[in-house]
A and B are shown apart, each in its own frame.
Chain A
Amino acid sequence: MIEDLVVAFLTRYNYYMAVIIMLIGLYAMIAKSNLIKKVIGLNIFQTAIYLFYISIADVEGGTAPILVPGTDVVYVNPLPHVLILTAIVVGVSITAVAYALAIRIYQSYGTIEEDELLELGSERR
């Protein structure tokens, strides 16, 4: 039983790692009060997803999918790399927008702590 688990873990450890990193990011996104930390959490979350995708692509003994002369070269699956390239760009874009928003919030409210922002918001009501 334990052995099975260990084997399961050892053969899939990077999926598990990706999951753990995802969870860290997700926790930060929800629980952190500082808006910048939320964005950092968001980045961690996304990075973990990249890791997940890249793990999917891996083939044992494979090399980067750039053709080299030779017949029995094993290449890793190129498709997830492409997807993740796209996802990275999306992540960068979202981060940029998030920081821009955070900057504007700081300019308008003078703080980026969510608790204080909520208080300020309710006072104005």
Chain B
Amino acid sequence: MRENVVIRTVTRLAVPFILVFGLYIILHGSSRAGGGFQGGVIVASAFILIGIAFGLDETQRRIREKVRTIASILGISIFIGIGLLCILFGANFLGYAAIPLPLDTPWVRGLMMEAVEIGIGITVMAVMTSIFYDVATKEEGE
């Protein structure tokens, strides 16, 4: 299967579209159907597709692993960070309205929700990919 040209070509073509679609879903969470989870999974599926089509190349994985770990931490950190920021500005945890932006409250809220959704998306993407790679990797000597 490694040598299957069709799959590799299709993957090469499809991945950019999947990624764009995933990002669209993440970013449109607040106004249309969509959200961080759904988008994150879609983005992850692109990476998984790459893994299936091109094999779990060792070197490539090493880089990705670091990125994934950082990404999963980053996603949660965005979420927590926004929450703590709200505390800093005198509201309760995740009380978006307190964040002093020169906008109306619903807009601030909407913006913060968007940021949170991005955080969710990043973490979901990273973890899903990570789980796939870990499950798919064979143990040495097997």
Contacts and interface: CB of A to CB of B under 8 A. Distances in A.
Given A64-B33, A66-B33, A89-B37, A107 B131 contact: no
B37 A96 contact: no
A96 B33 contact: no
Contacts of A96: 131, 135
A13 interface: no
Contacts of B2: none
Contacts of A89: 37, 124
Contact of B37 (A66, A85, A99, A107): A85
Nearest to B40: A89
Nearest to A65: B33
Contact of A103 (B32, B33, B37, B135): B135
A88 B128 CA distance: 14
B32 A66 contact: yes
- Interface size bucket, B side? 10 to 19
Interface of B: 31-33, 35, 37, 124, 131, 134-135, 139, 142
A100 interface: yes
A99 B142 CA distance: 18
A13 B63 CA distance: 51
Given A64-B33, A66-B32, A66-B33, A107 B135 contact: no
Interface in A81-106: 85, 88-89, 96, 99-100, 103
B29 to A, nearest CB: 11
Contacts of B37: 85, 88-89
Contacts of B35: 85
Contacts of B33: 64, 66
Contacts of B124: 89
18 contacts: A64-B33, A66-B31, A66-B32, A66-B33, A85-B35, A85-B37, A88-B37, A89-B37, A89-B124, A96-B131, A96-B135, A99-B135, A100-B131, A100-B134, A100-B135, A103-B135, A107-B139, A107-B142
A5 to B, nearest CB: 38
B66 to A, nearest CB: 21
A4 B98 CA distance: 55
Contacts of A100: 131, 134-135
Nearest to A103: B135
Nearest to B120: A89
A100 B139 CA distance: 12
